[in-house]
Amino acid sequence: MQRILSLASENIKTSSLLSSLSKVALIIGLCTVTPLTQAADRIQVSAPIYEFNLDNGLKILVKQDKRAPVVVSQLWYKVGSSYEHGGITGISHVVEHMMFKGTKKYPTGEFNRIIGENGAEDNAFTGQDYTAYYQVVANDRLEVAMDLESDRVRGLTLPPDEFKKELKVVQEERRWRTEDNPNALTYEQFMATAFMNSPYHNPVIGWMTDLENLKVEDLRAWYERWYAPNNAVLVVVGDVEPDQVFEMAKKYYGSLKPSELVPQKPQVETAQKGLRTIQVKAPAELPYIMLGYKTPALVSAKADEAWEPYALEVLSSILDGGSSSRLSRDLVRGKELLASAGAWYNGFGRMPHLLVMNGTPAKDVPIDTVKAELLAQVERLRKEQVSTEELARVKAQVIASEIYERDSLQHQATVLGSLETVGLGYKVMDEYVDKILAITPEQIQQVAQKYLIEDHLTIAELVPQPIDKSKPRFAPTFVR
C-alpha cells in the first residue's frame, strides 16, 4: 500500500512496501515455511481503533500500543497540493512552514522551544492529498503537544516579515531539491506531462513563478479556508487510554469553530490518447528514464473492479520487491545493464495516479537499451502469468512488511491519518492483507493487459548536460 507521504521535499515516491523489503528479507524464510494464512491471522490480531467525533467536526482516532511509554500525536488536514489551482501552487507547503511562526498565545519560536524543553520531537509534511503535523512525546507530555497543536488550528498570526523570510527558504528548498537535482527535475516534468488537468500535474512544492508571486494574504485565505476542526483528523497512537485522549482532545480542540467547507469541483484527468514522450536536459552524470502508465485508484474503483488496485500493487512488487524481484534479478544483477531500477504503484490516493518504472543505465549502456528492457518486462507480464512460487514470495513480503511496519508508532499513525484524509477510511488497513492474499496470477495478467498499454504511457528521459563543479554538493539546512 502506498503509505509513505509524498513530501514537498520528496520528488520521487516510494511505497512503504517497497522501502521495507530490505527489512523483510530477514523473515521471508519464516513466512515461506509458515502457511501464509497463519501469518495473516497474526496480523489481524491487533489493537482496535477507537473513534470519537467532537461536535465541531474533528474526528479523533486512537490506537493503544503500550510497549513503551511513548505516544505519537498527528493532526491531519484534508488539503495538499492537489487542492491547489494555477497561480498558487505550493501554497499548502508554504502554510506548513508558517505554522511554526507563531500564534498570539505562543509567538514565533515558542512552539519549538516548548517542544525541546519537553524532550519531544516534532515536524510536519505536505503531500499531494494532505498536510500533517506531528509530535513524538513521552505519554505524560501528550497534553503539552495537544495544547500547542490545537492553538495553531485557528490562531496563526502569519507575520508578514516572517512570511517573506520563509518564502525565501522554500524557494531555496525548491532550487536545491528539484531544480539542481536532475532526477527530481525529470520526475517533475514527467508528472506535468503525464497529467494534463488532474491536479497531480503540479509539484507539491509549487512552480517557482507561483512561489515568487505568493502574498501573505493568499496564505491567510488558504489557512482560514482549510485549517478547521471539521477538515482535520487527530490520530493518537501509543501508551494512552482512549477515553483520556478523548477528554483531553475535547478540552483543547472542542472550542474551535468549524468552517463552512465548500466542496471543490471535480478535476478528472482527460483521457490520454496516445504515447507521450519528453526529454529533460539538465546537468547530470548519468542518463535516467521514467515510464508511467495511467492506473486506477481504490477510492474511485467500481465494486466489481475493486480488486484491481491490489493486483497492481502485487504487480509492482513482482517488478521491484527486493533483491529477488525481476528488475533487480534480471536487469541489475543478471544482464548487468542497469545500475539501478525501480517500480511502484500509487493507487491509494484520492484520485487515479500511475504505475511507474525507472532505470539508470550501467556504464556505457545506451538509455534506449534501458527503455527496451523495461518495456520487455511489461510485455512479459502481459503475455505470461506469474508463477505460483513467485506470487507466494510477493505475498510473503507483504505480510512480513506489515509485521515490521506495525512496530512503528509513527507508521501506524501515518497509515490511519493518510487513509482517512484521502477518503478511503482507516478500515481499509484491516482489509489490506486479505485483499493482497486473494490476488491470482490471472488477475495480475488482466490488469497488465488492461492498463499497461502504450496509449496510457508517458516516458521521460533525462539527457545529461555538463556539470558546473563550482556548485555546492552538500544540502543546506532548511530551518524553519
For residues 312 and 400, which has the higher predicted lDDT (pLDDT)?
312
Strand arrangement of the beta sheet that strand 121-126 belongs to: 49-53, 59-64, 232-238, 70-77, 131-138, 121-126
- pLDDT bin (cut points 50, 70, 90) of residue 39 is low
Q: What is the pLDDT of residues 234-289, one digit of tens each?
A: 999 999 999 999 999 999 999 999 999 988 888 899 999 999 999 999 999 999 99
Strands 70-77 and 121-126: unpaired
Please tell me the predicted confidence (pLDDT) of residue 31. Answer: 34
Contact at 8 Å (CB) between 186 and 462?
Answer: yes
- pTM comes to 0.89
Please tell me the predicted confidence (pLDDT) of residue 406. Answer: 78
Please tell me the predicted confidence (pLDDT) of residue 469. Answer: 76
| Averaged confidence pLDDT in the chain | 89
Q: Which three cell numbers stand for residue 316?
A: 509492482
Catalytic site includes residue 96: yes
pLDDT above 70 coverage of the chain, percent? 89
Burial of residue 380, with CB atoms counted within 10 A of its CB: 0-12 exposed, 13-18 middle, 19 or more buried: middle
User: What is the pLDDT averaged over residues 353-380?
Assistant: 97
Please tell me the predicted confidence (pLDDT) of residue 22. Answer: 31
User: What is the pLDDT averaged over residues 389-407?
Assistant: 83
Q: What is the pLDDT of residues 91-111, one digit of tens each?
A: 999 999 999 999 999 999 999
Contact at 8 Å (CB) between 133 and 124?
Answer: yes
For residues 198 and 476, which has the higher predicted lDDT (pLDDT)?
198
Q: In sequence order, what are the beta bridge partners of 59? A: 53, 233
Please tell me the predicted confidence (pLDDT) of residue 479. Answer: 57
Query: Which is catalytic among the residues 10, 84, 96, 461?
Result: 96
Q: Which three cell numbers stand for residue 262?
A: 465548500
Please tell me the predicted confidence (pLDDT) of residue 404. Answer: 80
- pLDDT bin (cut points 50, 70, 90) of residue 454 is very high
